[in-house]
Chain A
């Protein structure tokens, strides 16, 4: 099939294809519109702070929403154009264009449209639009700085768009850092709360660790690709065999370090729960489709640096420590740890945050296992239901006047039915209930691990299945504790009511999106199992694989489905047993596993270890350097400054005073002596000068006449 050549063919844009041309320009517009709106809002905010103007929240929200709406429309247009052309076979998967950024180098503003960016951009657009819509109702009550909020939210969304459509590593880095800084602003939105500002700082610093890896990785890549950081160029080189995965192992691991920081993988996941200090729409956006997905997107973009691709198979590269294996194992470990932490957590938003960590681990492990399409598959489904879940959680919190502990909720189903239903849909998807979107995609992830070349892949598969069970457990637990059971909230102060329609609209939209996805994905699954011949668009994963040019073998798909279905039902059953049927058993198990629970609640000591590392290793080294600097370097400098240069200066001073001044003064004295006698001639009267001049001319003429006789004038 010529598909391989077609997918591997790389064509730069602007080769006369006007569609590609306009698509690239639309991409640029997608990135720029929210940014411009953000600048506008910041300007309005500045005027507000100066006391000149008071902008109502509605107007700020309208500006923010309109810009996002516009960009979303354009991004969906880009997606549809892209797919239309793709289905017709008109166009290659890669459309790229670049503008000069630093003259004479290949560092350029580059935009790249491939399946990844086209789909991700549209998805981000829909989710961000919903969240923006939701945020107005959420933020307008008692919040004064809605303008600032929307400005940063817009900025955040625009940065993510820029990252998605970025065409080379350099460009990605720029938007990567913009994401970091805008997330800093948003997490620290309630800056007057110490916990919020600390959380923002923590998120920023954890991210920075990854960013250093990213930067160094870019430098190494830059050297190896001859100065061209374009993704397409790197792929081209790899396909031609000029670069192999073994030479790119180190940069790949460094770039994975960046993803670890941004996507909160195993050692650096501590910042993500803290980031719940921001407003709930921010959490929804940050967890679903923007920030934490950026790291994974980066990994997917640089997928060929992790794996060699032979035909349709991703092959583990021939390196002593293959980066892919590291990624898979760290990912699956993160998934397990996140799920465990979600199980013990009692804060509604933190449960979701830990579940995010867990799902991100799944995605990372799939990337490591060579399953690019499963990873993206799961990324899409996760983005959808996680944004839905956060918005629902936000609605609950909003209703209960900022109570976040699930132990103080319960029985809310009676009061907020629609919220409960939508959240139930989301939780089912999260839990991996059969034929929900999460189920299909998670199954694909575990299948990709099973079919990969990763060392100890059976262990990883087992952990993945275990995690699926735990996920089902905590999802069910959360739904039960929040919406069912007895009403444990403070009834004197809080009267729950149904969520407003403004809030419900995004919830229902997203929930229906989850349902659509579920149906769509399930059709693909069933068709695959039943070996039906359907149009490619229905076989979503296969479709993705075709587009990416990398297939995961689907051996043992049915077996995997059965396994995971069993695990899901075990988890859900356990949750129902422990919370509804027999709560006392739960308490006894808790008391017996108290130590383990504390360990989990301390996040497995990872943060403690990091802090210990910083306190006892990094800071002492830094202090040692500081001491070295202050004692040795400064001492040397001071020694030379004080003694040696002073001696030289003294010598030159003496020389200057005695010799040079002597010469100068002596000549000045002699000139003054002679001038005091000659100055009498210069009386300042022009007439006298003229007389002397005339006398001189006359004497000259006399000399000529006397000694030269007749001058030969003629």
Chain B
């Protein structure tokens, strides 16, 4: 088990997430994809944290920085999910759907040319 493995795993998960963000139609699935991206970042944080713990006799910050950052990311995701739920529900109430491509009220319509 090497550091590279974790980084590659993270990379693949990240790519899946990016692909999801690009191709998904509904906002909620895009949010799922964003969670995947965040998790890939977390994998990197934790893996590098362990790597630094084992290789360096650095300061406390060097040894636990990754964990703290991972926790911050998780908290961020929780907050994001809470706000996201509210946004989705209000979107759904207004448009009766949350397909992102169909919600473009701010865009200028074609007839205004």
A and B, direct touch (CB closer than 8 Å): yes
* CB <8 Å contact, A691 and B104: no
A492 lies within 8 A of chain B by Cβ: no
* CB <8 Å contact, A694 and B18: yes
Known: A685-B100, A685-B101. A690 touches B22 (CB 8 A): yes
B82 lies within 8 A of chain A by Cβ: no
* CB <8 Å contact, A686 and B107: no
Q: In the complex, what residues of A have CB within 8 A of residue B22's CB?
A: 687, 690-691, 694
Least distance between A687 CB and chain B CB atoms (Å): 6
Interface of A is mostly: helix
* CB <8 Å contact, B106 and A686: no
Residues in A687-709 with C-beta less than 8 Å from chain B: 687, 690-691, 694
Known: A690-B21, A694-B18. A683 touches B107 (CB 8 A): yes
A104 lies within 8 A of chain B by Cβ: no
* CB <8 Å contact, A686 and B100: yes
Chain A residue with Cβ nearest B102 = A685
Q: In the complex, what residues of A have CB within 8 A of residue B107's CB?
A: 682-685
* CB <8 Å contact, B100 and A687: yes
Flag A22-59 by CB within 8 Å of B: 1 or 0 each.
00000000000000000000000000000000000000
- Give complex CA distance A407, B106 in Å: 99
Q: In the complex, what residues of A have CB within 8 A of residue B106's CB?
A: 684
Least distance between B102 CB and chain A CB atoms (Å): 9
Least distance between B13 CB and chain A CB atoms (Å): 16
Q: In the complex, what residues of B have CB within 8 A of residue A679's CB?
A: 108
- Give complex CA distance A2, B106 in Å: 97
Residues in A654-685 with C-beta less than 8 Å from chain B: 679, 682-685
- Give complex CA distance A682, B107 in Å: 8
Least distance between A156 CB and chain B CB atoms (Å): 72
Q: In the complex, what residues of B have CB within 8 A of residue A683's CB?
A: 104, 107
Chain A residue with Cβ nearest B100 = A686
Least distance between A534 CB and chain B CB atoms (Å): 101
Least distance between B33 CB and chain A CB atoms (Å): 11
Interface of B is mostly: helix
Q: In the complex, what residues of A have CB within 8 A of residue B104's CB?
A: 683-685
* CB <8 Å contact, B101 and A687: yes
- Give complex CA distance A686, B107 in Å: 11
Flag B79-113 by CB within 8 Å of A: 1 or 0 each.
00000000000000000000011001011100000
- Give complex CA distance A706, B16 in Å: 25
Residues in B1-54 with C-beta less than 8 Å from chain A: 18, 21-23
Least distance between B22 CB and chain A CB atoms (Å): 6
Least distance between A691 CB and chain B CB atoms (Å): 6
- Give complex CA distance A687, B30 in Å: 10
- Give complex CA distance A687, B106 in Å: 15
- Give complex CA distance A593, B80 in Å: 113
Q: In the complex, what residues of B have CB within 8 A of residue A685's CB?
A: 100-101, 104, 107
- Give complex CA distance A685, B107 in Å: 8
Q: In the complex, what residues of B have CB within 8 A of residue A690's CB?
A: 21-22
Least distance between A505 CB and chain B CB atoms (Å): 86
Residues in A582-627 with C-beta less than 8 Å from chain B: none
Chain A residue with Cβ nearest B21 = A690
- Give complex CA distance A231, B42 in Å: 86
Q: In the complex, what residues of B have CB within 8 A of residue A682's CB?
A: 107
Q: In the complex, what residues of B have CB within 8 A of residue A687's CB?
A: 22-23, 100-101
- Give complex CA distance A682, B106 in Å: 11
Least distance between B23 CB and chain A CB atoms (Å): 8
Q: In the complex, what residues of A have CB within 8 A of residue B18's CB?
A: 694
Least distance between A5 CB and chain B CB atoms (Å): 85
- Give complex CA distance A683, B101 in Å: 10
- Give complex CA distance A679, B108 in Å: 10
Chain A residue with Cβ nearest B19 = A694
Least distance between B27 CB and chain A CB atoms (Å): 9
Chain A residue with Cβ nearest B27 = A686
Q: In the complex, what residues of A have CB within 8 A of residue B21's CB?
A: 690
- Give complex CA distance A687, B107 in Å: 14
Least distance between A387 CB and chain B CB atoms (Å): 85
Chain A residue with Cβ nearest B107 = A684
Chain A residue with Cβ nearest B104 = A684
- Give complex CA distance A679, B110 in Å: 11
Least distance between B96 CB and chain A CB atoms (Å): 19
Q: In the complex, what residues of A have CB within 8 A of residue B23's CB?
A: 687
- Give complex CA distance A691, B104 in Å: 17
Q: In the complex, what residues of B have CB within 8 A of residue A684's CB?
A: 104, 106-108
Q: In the complex, what residues of A have CB within 8 A of residue B108's CB?
A: 679, 684
- Give complex CA distance A683, B108 in Å: 8
- Give complex CA distance A249, B106 in Å: 83
Least distance between B5 CB and chain A CB atoms (Å): 17
Least distance between A685 CB and chain B CB atoms (Å): 5
Chain B residue with Cβ nearest A679 = B108
Chain A residue with Cβ nearest B18 = A694
- Give complex CA distance A684, B21 in Å: 16
Least distance between A120 CB and chain B CB atoms (Å): 80
Least distance between A711 CB and chain B CB atoms (Å): 15
Chain B residue with Cβ nearest A683 = B107
- Give complex CA distance A679, B113 in Å: 11
Q: Which of A682, A687, A691 has the most chain B CB atoms inside 10 A of its CB?
A: A687
- Give complex CA distance A687, B70 in Å: 28
Chain B residue with Cβ nearest A676 = B113
- Give complex CA distance A685, B104 in Å: 7
Least distance between A355 CB and chain B CB atoms (Å): 93
Chain B residue with Cβ nearest A698 = B18
B residues sitting closer than 8 Å to A (CB atoms) are 18, 21-23, 100-101, 104, 106-108
Known: A682-B107, A684-B106; 13 extra A-B contacts, CB below 8 A, are A683-B104, A683-B107, A685-B100, A685-B101, A685-B104, A685-B107, A686-B100, A687-B22, A687-B23, A687-B101, A690-B21, A690-B22, A694-B18
Could you write out 5 A-B pairs with CB less than 8 Å apart? A684-B107, A685-B104, A687-B23, A687-B100, A691-B22
Closest 8 CB pairs of A and B: A684-B107, A684-B104, A685-B101, A691-B22, A690-B22, A686-B100, A690-B21, A687-B101
